[in-house]
Structure 1
Amino acid sequence: MLSLKEVDLSRCSKITDAGIKHLLSIPALEKLSISETGVTADGVALLASLTNLLVLDLGGLPVTDSALGSLQVLTKLEHLDLWGSEVSNGGVLHLKQLPKLKNLNLAWTGVTELPYLSSLVCLNMSNCTILSLFEGNYHKAQLEKLIMHGAKITDAYEVFQYVETNMLSFLDISNCSLDSFCFLPSMEAMTHLNLGDSSLVDNSVEHIAYIGANLRYLNLCNTRVSSEGIGALAGLVPNLETILLAGTLVDDTAVLYISMMPSLKVVDLSRTNVKGGLIHQEDNVLNEVPSFSALQNLSHLEKLDLEEIRIKDTALCPLANLGRLSYLSLRTDSLTDACLYLASCVPKLVHFSARDALLTNAGIELFVPPPELEVLDLRGCWLLTKDGLLSFCQKHPQIKVNHELVTTHDKENSRYLSPPPDIMSSQPPKRKQEKLSLPIIKPDESFLDQRLKYNRDELLSMRFSSASVSTSNPQGNLI
């Protein structure tokens, strides 16, 4: 195999130093990954003879300072992965001998200080204690991507002092020990910013607003940001495509501010105080409208996460007007069969999740899936029975259904049931005719679903009783 250029042996625990000796017979090798194997520091040192290497992944190996010193002859190296190694501050000095090194991963190591590396573009120091970066040179590092997830940073000024911050376009400081974010306004080229699980509060959001012009991705999950903080970004992030607010303090007012971010494609409001209720919207006169109606301004919205929030069926009605929405995720026990009707009205829906909802066999029987639906996630919908789910799967074999009782999987572009399909009818369902004849469940704001009056044990006791059989009232609602 003298022409072999790429070998990936990651997580092959039986590969040892003896195996490395065989690799040395392939001088043309350019990409090698031996992360999480049985190779020791001695085996790593042997790689010095592979002088054509461009990419080397040694993640999870006990690479020592001495072994790393042996690799400084690999002058063509562009990507080096050393996460979880035994390399120290002294060992990383050897990296100065790698003139083409662009990507370096030192996550989960004891490195606290990094020398100036002129060619470095991407640096990962996640879960490290960082004292300083690139100190001791008149030039600043031209980093474009910096990842410091879970890092302990004692002084943010020392960390960024020798970084050309106006070149940074990707910054991940999620779960970091930072109390101040005053360094953000200098990062004018920022497109991807992850501040999730940090101590960020509303007063600090103004620092993000300064660099909002180029932002495309913003993660504020599990921070202490409220709707007031999101209001500071309204109108200042014209290119933002993704905003993640799961686990924050935002409420329905934030939805109005989010609607002023015209390029949004992905919105996550899971585990927030959003309920889809009425908000005041001033449009010459003061009006009260459902908060989700404001999302109709987002003509590019494709993915919406609303898991673990107390939302009712009627609050979802405005979502039917989101013409490009393809992914909708809901998870709450306050939703009923009516949410299925609303899902059927979203024309481009591909993935629909209604986990833990109070759905019944009657509701799933009457459900008319959108024409492009591929995945239906009904996990936790414990009122559904196996027979009801199997019946739906038979009618709609093109849809992958996720539920504890029934699973489907792909096989040669078709959907099959588990248990095997021999339990199904030999006649294929005539889906087109059935779809036209199915009655429609329309939500009625004046209707109160009676299931909401009972707890889980009471509903379970009535599950197979004759009293639980669904009928239709004159308005078309299930009772």
Structure 2
Amino acid sequence: MTAVCAVYVWHRAAEVKTPVVQQKEPSPAPTSQATLDKLKQLGARWKRNQHGQVYWLFLKRLPLADDDLMVLRELPEVQTVTLRGVHTIKGNHFTDDGLRHVGQLKKLRYLDLSVNYQLTDAGLRHLESLKQLEYLDLSGCHRFSDACGASLAQLTSLRTLKLRQTSLTPDVLTALSQLPELKHLAVNYAKGMWLNENTIVPLEEMPLEELEGLLIKDENLPLIARLKSLKLVPFEQDRLIKDDQLSYLIHISQIKKLNVVLTRGISDTSQLKQLRMLPELETLSISLGKSSAGVPLDRSGLLALAKMPTLKELGIGLVNVPVLEAISHCTQVQKLNLNVDRSQFQPTDLVYLKEMSSLKDLTVQIALVSDDLWATLGKVKSLEEISFNRGWPPQKEPPPFSMASLKQLQNLPHLKGLDLNGFPVTDEGLGYLGQCRTLERLELNNAPITNAGLLQLRHLEHLKRLNFYGSKIDMDTAVELHRFIPQCRIEDNWCCGCMTIYADRSVTQK
């Protein structure tokens, strides 16, 4: 039997693709004119996004009542609200109840409630639903108690919290340690916000990068090392730090300014080598003190400063010649303030500054002023600004030097600013200064100059500011000078010091 096999081939019908029509999303509705009229009536300022919706609202120092804030319910896109200082305006009735309306702004990211004395813990409970809030300022709201920490802990997106001039104590820190995103915290130092073994526990649980208002005794500075995420120092930048305390700070990567005192004077600068661990340090002030008798100078820390490329401003004292030679290796420094040890230093010793190729701004003691000083500074070709530290109490006697020595300043091709306040500059001196054609600022207060001598400055075509308080220059002469240099602001004590010849804007704006 022959088997016959029938083969069936099935063909799948080609699918017919029906084009999908994308439904265009309707444009978001802009904020209505009626709502804008309400805002205008309140005195508010606002900004709108590309869809015409109000997203930024400024209600600072307005005579608001709680019910006035009902308008916020018509502004669902608002992300920023400023209600600072509403209490200061007569007729306001802004209380905790007004925060009910603020709590409806689900997209709110920035809220400033500072300096509102009527707000209490009850008001903050209205804000617990603001899960996108990143910035909150309660500074000056002194009726809050530590119990408000429970409400603050609900704001889990908070990155910045400011609590200055409040009644909150260190007890609130435990609640704040529950905020997983908190980067910047400003606390109230007046309520004993000290860094100690108790406060460090909740603080180190926070991912803090900035901490303001904390009080820190020297013996508790080691605790700073436990705040691993800090990027800025948690104390005022002008605070003096002993060199043996630097190890507690070297993990703080964004320190830009420090004032350091050497505990062993210039006999041992080795601790300064730790500063190389601060990659963003720009400004450094060092108090050296006097060297110990018979102890050799250790320059290692000063020489290490030359290996810090970000260091641009350096203040240092008391400086002797070996110290100056060591810091002259800091060719990256642009601004230098020197307080010298006059018993071991002469103006000609400043010749080491020639090695500092980036040096633009120099401040030295007025006691150094002499013919030798001008001759030496005339060799530091990079200088743009020269000024003087007059000390306290200020030196009464004007520094002695010959007017001809000012001619040395003509050797500085980039000189822009010169402070000669209180110097006995005469008409002869003005003649030499008038040849410093790059000058933009010249201070000549109390100089014994005359009307005829002043006009020798008429060729300073770049001069923008000229002061000569305490001189005997007539205003007519100053006006005549201004015709030659209209871009310059000229100040003197005519009419009890209130007269000024302002720069011609048509010239300065070109």
Question: Does the TM-score normalized on the shorter chain lie above 0.5?
Answer: yes
Provide the rounded CA distance (Å) in 2 between the counterparts of 1:107 and 1:345.
55
Change (3 A) 1:86 1:194: farther
Instruction: Classify the secondary structure of the residue corresponding to 1:232.
Output: helix
Provide the rounded CA distance (Å) in 2 between the counterparts of 1:9 and 1:179.
52
Q: Quick one: which amino acid aligns to residue 305 of structure 2? A: I
Contact kept, 8 Å, 2:318 with 2:339, in 1: the verdict is no
Q: Which runs of 5+ in 1 are unaligned?
A: 280-288, 416-479
Instruction: Classify the secondary structure of the residue corresponding to 1:3.
Output: strand
Match of 1:368 in 2: 458
Contact kept, 8 Å, 2:80 with 2:111, in 1: the verdict is yes
More divergent stretch after superposition (259-268 vs 341-350): 341-350
1:324 correspondence with 2:414:
yes
Match of 1:391 in 2: 480
* Alignment counterpart, residue 448 of structure 2, candidates 358, 380, 384: 358
Matches within 5 A, 1:31-46: 31-32=110-111, 42=121, 45=124
* Alignment counterpart, residue 232 of structure 2, candidates 131, 139, 145: 145
Per-residue CA deviations over 1:363-398 (Å, capped at 9, x if unaligned) read 1123224222211122x3322223322332344332
Provide the rounded CA distance (Å) in 1 between the counterparts of 2:501 and 2:122.
45
Instruction: Classify the secondary structure of the residue corresponding to 2:418.
Output: strand
Please report how far the alpha carbon of residue 292 of structure 1 lies from its aligned counterpart in structure 2 after TM superposition: 1.0
Please report how far the alpha carbon of residue 334 of structure 1 lies from its aligned counterpart in structure 2 after TM superposition: 1.9
Provide the rounded CA distance (Å) in 2 between the counterparts of 1:90 and 1:154.
31
Provide the rounded CA distance (Å) in 1 between the counterparts of 2:135 and 2:339.
36
Change (3 A) 1:391 1:399: same
Provide the rounded CA distance (Å) in 1 between the counterparts of 2:379 and 2:111.
51
Provide the rounded CA distance (Å) in 1 between the counterparts of 2:174 and 2:93.
25
Per-residue CA deviations over 1:239-298 (Å, capped at 9, x if unaligned) read 2122233698675255323332222232222x443214337xxxxxxxxx92212312x2
Provide the rounded CA distance (Å) in 2 between the counterparts of 1:9 and 1:323.
53
Per-residue CA deviations over 1:168-204 (Å, capped at 9, x if unaligned) read 5423347x89788865322214443656595755679
Match of 1:305 in 2: 387
Match of 1:188 in 2: 276
Match of 1:3 in 2: 55
1:96 correspondence with 2:177:
yes
Contact kept, 8 Å, 1:205 with 1:229, in 2: the verdict is yes
Q: Which runs of 5+ in 2 are unaligned?
A: 1-45, 47-53, 57-78, 292-296, 391-397
Match of 1:116 in 2: 204
1:261 correspondence with 2:328:
no
Change (3 A) 1:123 1:98: same
Provide the rounded CA distance (Å) in 1 between the counterparts of 2:188 and 2:354.
37
Change (3 A) 1:168 1:398: closer
Change (3 A) 1:411 1:127: farther
1:407 correspondence with 2:500:
yes
Instruction: Classify the secondary structure of the residue corresponding to 1:333.
Output: coil
Change (3 A) 1:368 1:414: closer
1:212 correspondence with 2:306:
yes
Please report how far the alpha carbon of residue 354 of structure 1 lies from its aligned counterpart in structure 2 after TM superposition: 1.9
> What TM-score, normalized to structure 1?
0.65
* Alignment counterpart, residue 14 of structure 1, candidates 88, 91, 116: 88
Provide the rounded CA distance (Å) in 2 between the counterparts of 1:234 and 1:276.
22
Change (3 A) 1:104 1:409: farther
Matches within 5 A, 1:65-464: 65-67=146-148, 70-83=151-164, 85-106=166-187, 108-109=189-190, 110-113=192-195, 114=200, 115-116=203-204, 119-124=207-212, 129=217, 131-132=219-220, 135=223, 141-146=228-233, 147-149=235-237, 151=239, 157=245, 160-161=247-248, 163-165=249-251, 167-173=253-259, 183-190=271-278, 191-192=280-281, 196=285, 207-214=301-308, 215-220=310-315, 223-235=317-329, 237-245=330-338, 252-253=347-348, 255-269=350-364, 271-278=365-372, 290-296=375-381, 298=382, 301-306=383-388, 308=390, 310=399, 312=401, 313-378=403-468, 380-405=469-494, 406-409=499-502, 413=506
Which structure has the greater CA radius of gyration?
2
More divergent stretch after superposition (37-46 vs 254-263): 37-46
Provide the rounded CA distance (Å) in 1 between the counterparts of 2:490 and 2:455.
14
Per-residue CA deviations over 1:316-349 (Å, capped at 9, x if unaligned) read 3332232233222221232223343333333332
Instruction: Classify the secondary structure of the residue corresponding to 1:295.
Output: coil
Instruction: Classify the secondary structure of the residue corresponding to 1:387.
Output: helix
Please report how far the alpha carbon of residue 407 of structure 1 lies from its aligned counterpart in structure 2 after TM superposition: 0.6
Provide the rounded CA distance (Å) in 1 between the counterparts of 2:423 and 2:288.
31
Q: Quick one: which amino acid aligns to residue 213 of structure 1? A: K
Match of 2:71 in 1: none
